[in-house]
A and B are shown apart, each in its own frame.
Chain A
Amino acid sequence: MNFSDILTMRHELMLTLLALVVLIIDLNLHNRNKHLIIPVTLVLFFLHTVVGFLPAEKSILFGGMYRTNSLLVMMKNILNIGVLIILLQSVTWLKKEENREKISEYFVLLFSTLIGMDFMISSGDFLMFYLGLELATIPVAALAAYTHHNTKSAEAGIKLLLSSALSSGILLFGISLIYGSTGSIYYDTVMDMYQNSPMQVMAFIFFFTGMAFKISLVPFHLWTADVYEGAPINVTSYLSVISKGAAAFILIIVMFTVFNKLAPVYNHILYLISVLTMTIGNLFALRQKNMKRFLAFSSIAQAGFILLGILGGNVLGMTSVIYFVLVYIFSNLGAFGVVSAIQTVTGKESMDDYDGLYATNPKLSLLMMLALFSLAGIPPVAGFFGKFFLFASAASAGYYWLVFIAVLNATVSLYYYLLVVKAMFINKNETPLAYFKSDLATRTGLILSGLGIFILGFWSQIYEVINSLSFGIIH
């Protein structure tokens, strides 16, 4: 290994450096000037995002523990863009008086979890994977409890911490069973040694539930609603978009490589979980009146759709999952961005408060509509193509009934997404939320997500790029 090889880890290295720089600057700032950290961090993270797009080479480091290639780098870039938007959307909230002293905490914790996710994506063995997982989880629990004077926020933090401890335990149990039955924790070796013996199936299930917890698949999702509701809105947005997206990326990598041989078994599991997740997520979302809980359950239902692409088990499936996650990131960030902007300024987060929003805040309402249409999968916005490709890949693998159930669920989801649109555009309200103007950062974040929704829908080259890269993973 030489110096240039190390540079292939640039995502992780730069983020670590970034987190340290933020800490050091923070130490040297007077309490009055803590907010100066915000623009500095934004600029640095923007640079990091841009550098991430430099061409990437395939390489393997540390004897196979760490590997990277252009597909993995693209996944990290997708996450970076999402995080950038979230940071932009957080600015107004961070500038509030009560958060002033701990602005840097937010950044450092956020970057730590992102480092964890990057390591997970690049992991070449289960040890690296597990370290990444913990690094990605524990700081998030601290973030969820960020406004600790608020009981709900504290509750969210502790719930997330305890639940993830439980899931990590089971996942670790699964990894130890894998090691016990194959004698290795390296992905490549494990892949060769897998015989689909009952113990290995059980090991896989344990491992899978750990991942299912992160993506919040039913019945491992129960923490989601409470945590999403309690955590500060921007953390919720991070959890539901970045955390979930990263977990979905890792799941497809692992499913398509390490547990490749297990496909005949895990397809059944995924089938069952997918149906459960879509249906239960939708049923809960139907009744929600709090926007954060509403988005939480809708994101559970969305996770069920992701499994459709994994079931496809081919390049089309992999491409469609990555594309779907990409679209999902932009659409959900658009929706969360609006909820966050409104919550930060007015403190309102109930669906009834959105009645007649179009009359006072037409631009926000239009973006919200665009984002919800994309989540619901209405053409021509990006969400339609995301769902379409997922359905196409599942149908090409012969899962017609599953596609049928998914279409039914998509219809149900359309109902509750439209409820919000109806509230904003049609419902009459004597005292709608007053007009307000967000600051530059928030607006940039919102515009970026809106642009993403549009561009992804109309520019098919992105899909083809993902498609060409996906060939590298599946043989």
Chain B
Amino acid sequence: MADYTYTLLIPLIPLFMFLLLGLTGHKMKPVISGLIGTSGLGIAAILAYATAIKYFWTAHVAGTPYVSIKAFEVSWLHLTEKLTIHLGVLIDPISVMMLVVITTVSLMVHIYSIGYMKGDPGFYRFFSFLSLFSFSMLGLVLATNIFQMYIFWELVGVSSFLLIGYYYEKPSAVAASKKAFIVTRFADLGFLIGILMLSFNTGTFDFQTLTDPHGPAIASLGGAAFMGMSVLTWSMIFIFVGGAGKSAMFPFHIWLPDAMEGPTPVSALIHAATMVVAGVYLVARLFPVYALAAPDALHVVAWVGGFSSIFAAVIACTQTDIKRVLAFSTMSQIGYMMLSLGVSGFGGEEGLGFMASNFHLFTHAMFKALLFLGAGAVIHAVHSNEIKDMGNLRKYLPITHITFLIACLTIAGIPPFSGFFSKDEILVAAFHSNKILFAIEYIVAGLTAFYMFRLYYGIFWGKKTHYHHTPHESPLVMTIPLMILTFGSVFAGFLPFHDMVTADGKGFESHIDWMIAIPSVLIGVIGIAIATVMYKNETAIPDKIAGTFKHLYKWAHRKFYMDEVYLFVTRKIIFRYISDPIAWFDRHIIDGTMNGIAGMTVYAAYAVKGLQSGKLQQYAFVFVGGTVILVLIFVYLV
């Protein structure tokens, strides 16, 4: 077995960069701190690529299944014989794939940010937070046990909080960062409950033991039942709640659009490729447990994913802030991935959905990061997020225009771009499992093509907008990452994922199913065609349609009033009927008791004061007296 100990460096280098930049960054020139952070991530990326090449090709004997390797592990907290918390590095197909995704996107975002954040007073702070985030995310995917994953899971939450609230003078950014943190934190409560239930019943945190098809967790099938489902199923559902929070699945998605308040490179890193797919990764990591021992929980995953994907796609059609369109698009695409996991079986062809989900995760990371960075370049040029302030930009931003167009074609599933391949696998998996979900995905495919091209035409074509300053193309340091990611978006589809990333480590044969692919491409083309008619040139059609479906449009535009529902539930119900009485109890009963105890303590402190008189004779008396009393008690009385 090959030695992978060096993979430990992949998360540690960004951690070191975080400390270095965080502690000494204010003394450096901004550009230097940016270059240092970027080169650190570059080294991590090279190590990640080396690991991937070694794991998938050079160290792998063709025809054998990919095995899961513990490259490194120490016991961190040894509490009891049974309860020991380890920290380590786990190498298996999905973690290696995630290493590549995270380091690639993070590196691109680092390079891009050198240009995008230029002149920002907190330049070094931005890069140190980026490094912290990369560290947390890498630690999360490399975790050898669910507890370590939870630690990094929360670290990811903290670092995303810091990044979303990066513009801390802006009240909306602060509110958004708090919202993101609180909503995901609330979902993490479910995750924690799930972890505790799972490990209580199986006696282990370790992923390898948990996911071993012949291991205790799966063999036990969950033991006792509660409300018609086994305890194991319940715990897996709770764990999925945590995943749904980070991955912005309905109904925990409300933080994602607001999180667009962060700098655009942050959106590309966090809200496209890494943090939001943590939930997908979590389900994939525990997939054998879901598939073999908790199929009911897997159904929940499938339906939540399916519903989220269509829900978000509808909203995305009506948004006018370009980053919010992308945010809802992300939610929709992650819904795809969840659905794909949810309809998958375990092993061989059955595990097509698992493979497809990871495949789509990979391609989506490339093209969505590209879209966000492209949007960043646009915002950089026109200083606005609103579509109405844009138009006809293709002449001013040629590189951004081409890369954005390719990304749109990719997400719309047009061959031969990578999105076509991964989406097709998902559709095939859904087709063989559940026809209703399959139908939903067809609709979503059409909607996706439509709203992406609505966005594309709105930015680069459409009306002649007059700009105060002539928009100009971004500097090379920003356009080179765009080009690299375009390359990835175009060619990632040709990777033989079905040989590499599968549920049981064994490869299987997979072909394009043209019976499903051709209609899906057609639907995509129709979506694009409608968008072309409506938005390529300024027409009255969009307003007419919006007027015809006035209510639906308004509902979708207001994101189906989910924020208002949350506000109603929290303010009117939870605050009034639960929090206020508790607050009263806390102020009067608890505080009263505590103040009473504190008063008594102070009083007692005064009362014993006489003991400490400073007189040595008295000290000796107490000493001897104490000895005598001890003797009296323990020799004569006990």
Chain A residues engaging chain B, CB cutoff 8 angstroms: 159, 162-163, 166-167, 170, 198, 201-202, 205-206, 208-209, 213, 219-220, 222-223, 225-226, 265, 268-269, 272, 280, 283-284, 286-287, 392, 412, 415, 460-461, 463-464
Contacts and interface: CB of A to CB of B under 8 A. Distances in A.
A286 B605 contact: yes
Interface stretch (B406-414, B581-589, B630-638): B630-638
A220 B601 contact: no
A283 B78 contact: no
B623 A166 contact: yes
Interface string B607-638: 01101101010111011111100110111101
B612 A286 contact: no
B565 interface: no
B612 A222 contact: yes
A205 B630 contact: yes
B619 A269 contact: no
Interface on chain B toward A: helix, strand, loop, or mixed SS?
A: helix
A265 B633 CA distance: 11
Nearest to B87: A460
Interface residues of B, number: 34
A104 to B, nearest CB: 30
A460 B87 CA distance: 12
B627 A201 contact: no
A351 to B, nearest CB: 15
Most buried by B among A202, A222, A287: A222
A363 B394 CA distance: 54
B623 A286 contact: no
A205 B634 contact: yes
Given A209-B623, A286-B602, A463-B78, A222 B611 contact: yes
B227 interface: no
Given A201-B635, A222-B618, A463-B78, 13 more contacts: A159-B619, A162-B616, A163-B623, A167-B623, A208-B630, A209-B630, A220-B626, A265-B634, A269-B630, A269-B634, A284-B608, A412-B601, A460-B77
B64 interface: no
23 contacts: A162-B616, A201-B635, A205-B631, A205-B635, A209-B630, A222-B618, A265-B638, A269-B630, A269-B634, A280-B611, A283-B601, A283-B608, A284-B605, A284-B612, A286-B605, A287-B606, A287-B609, A392-B79, A415-B598, A460-B77, A461-B74, A463-B78, A464-B78
A201 B78 CA distance: 37
Smallest CB-CB A-B distances: 6 pairs:
A219-B626, A222-B619, A283-B605, A209-B627, A286-B605, A198-B635
B548 interface: no
The A contact surface, by secondary structure, is helix
A167 B623 CA distance: 8
Given A166-B623, A205-B627, A222-B622, A268 B638 contact: yes
A219 B605 contact: no
Nearest to B622: A219
B168 interface: no
Contacts of A167: 623
A201 to B, nearest CB: 5
Interface in B67-111: 74-79
Nearest to B76: A460
B515 interface: no
Most buried by B among A205, A208, A461: A205
A269 B637 CA distance: 12
B329 to A, nearest CB: 39
Nearest to A273: B630
Given A265-B638, A268-B634, A268-B638, A286 B601 contact: yes
B223 to A, nearest CB: 27
Contacts of A220: 623, 626
A219 B618 CA distance: 12
Contacts of B77: 460
Interface in B289-326: none
B169 to A, nearest CB: 24
Nearest to B603: A283
Contacts of A283: 601, 604-605, 608
Nearest to A208: B630
Q: Which of B76, B626, B636 has the most CB of A within 10 A?
A: B626
Contacts of A268: 634, 638
Contacts of B614: 226
A163 B620 contact: yes
Contacts of B601: 283, 286, 412
Contacts of A205: 627, 630-631, 634-635
Contacts of B635: 198, 201-202, 205
B73 to A, nearest CB: 13
Given A205-B630, A205-B631, A460 B602 contact: no
Nearest to B79: A392
B631 A202 contact: yes
Contact of B634 (A201, A222, A226): A201
A307 to B, nearest CB: 14
Nearest to B620: A166
A159 B612 CA distance: 13
Contacts of A269: 630, 634
Nearest to B612: A225
B638 A159 contact: no
B619 A223 contact: yes
A463 B76 CA distance: 10
A159 B626 contact: no
Contact of A287 (B78, B605, B634): B605
Contacts of A170: 623-624, 627
Nearest to B85: A460
Contacts of B611: 222, 280
A222 B616 CA distance: 9
B638 to A, nearest CB: 6
B26 to A, nearest CB: 14
B78 A213 contact: no
Contact of B608 (A208, A213, A280, A415): A280
Of B606, B608, B625, B634, most buried by chain A (CB within 10 Å of CB) is B634
Interface string B569-605: 0000000000000000000000000000010011011
A220 B624 CA distance: 9
Nearest to A458: B76
Contacts of B609: 287
A464 B79 CA distance: 11
Contacts of B612: 222, 225, 284
A166 B627 CA distance: 12
A163 B638 contact: no
A358 B33 CA distance: 28
Nearest to A287: B605
A291 B598 CA distance: 22
Contacts of A213: 623
A409 to B, nearest CB: 10
Given A220-B626, A222-B623, A283-B601, A163 B634 contact: no
